[in-house]
Structure 1
Amino acid sequence: MLSFIPSWLLPIALLAFSNVFMTFAWYGHLKFENRPLWLVIIVSWGIALFEYCLAVPANRYGSHVYQPAELKTMQEVITLVIFALFSVFYLGERLTINHVIGFALICAGAFFVFKGPIAS
């Protein structure tokens, strides 16, 4: 493991970087609609391969610090943040209040995953 990065932060950083690549693999081609689909698929697979080289270690290292449900929840929240930024800055989309409310509700769900059992 990378000893200069705290064990709780390493999976978060790796998941964030992997999400940047996966977002480009899944949505980056939308700006290049004039390219043949087969070429887009091959390029996306190449990007996704690199993404997996970050995501798999993120989960391996993260499993020593977080439970699998926490890792998956973290992944989803990171995905939303990265996608929102990508959508605005790369695709030129606008985020509406509906997006913000939806993302906030997902983050509220993440809170409960990390909070642990609610006492009865």
Structure 2
Amino acid sequence: MLDSLARLPLSVQTFGLLTLSNIFMTYAWYGHLKSLADRPWWVAALISWGIALFEYLLQVPANRIGYAGGFSLAQLKIAQEVITLSVFIPFAVFAMGQPLKLDYLWAGLCLVGAVYFIFRS
């Protein structure tokens, strides 16, 4: 499997792993608000830490692959923020039942600007 991953383009490896890691992290950070609402906070924290372990097992290699492959630290961080919003909005709407807001669009457009400026050179 790792051999198959290594054959993918660098950007797919980096941003694909960052996307997967962010899915885990979003559930670790916010999923307990709905699914474990009736449990003590420390139970939610322990379960979230367990989920976050999988996030780190994807995020650390993603950043190492991207950085070694020529992405700058700033590019990796801005890309992570875009991925975070891209994962968070569907999570908030579909998993948590939050209303879709126009503010998500404005935040996304600001991040598009950030991506443009950080990747233009």
TM-score by length of 2: 0.90
CA apart distance, 1:85 = 0.9
Counterpart position of 1:27: 30
Deviations 1:73-93 (A, max 9, x none): 111100000000100110011
Counterpart position of 2:88: 83
Spell out structure 1 runs of 4+ moving beyond 6 A. none
Distance in 1, matches of 2:63 and 2:10, equals 12
Q: Structure 2: state its 5+ residue gaps.
A: none
Counterpart position of 1:43: 47
Counterpart position of 1:100: 105
Q: Which one has the bigger helix percentage?
A: 2
- Identity of counterpart residues, as a percentage? 45
RMSD of the TM alignment (CA)?
A: 1.2
Q: Structure 1: state its 5+ residue gaps.
A: none
TM-score by length of 1: 0.91
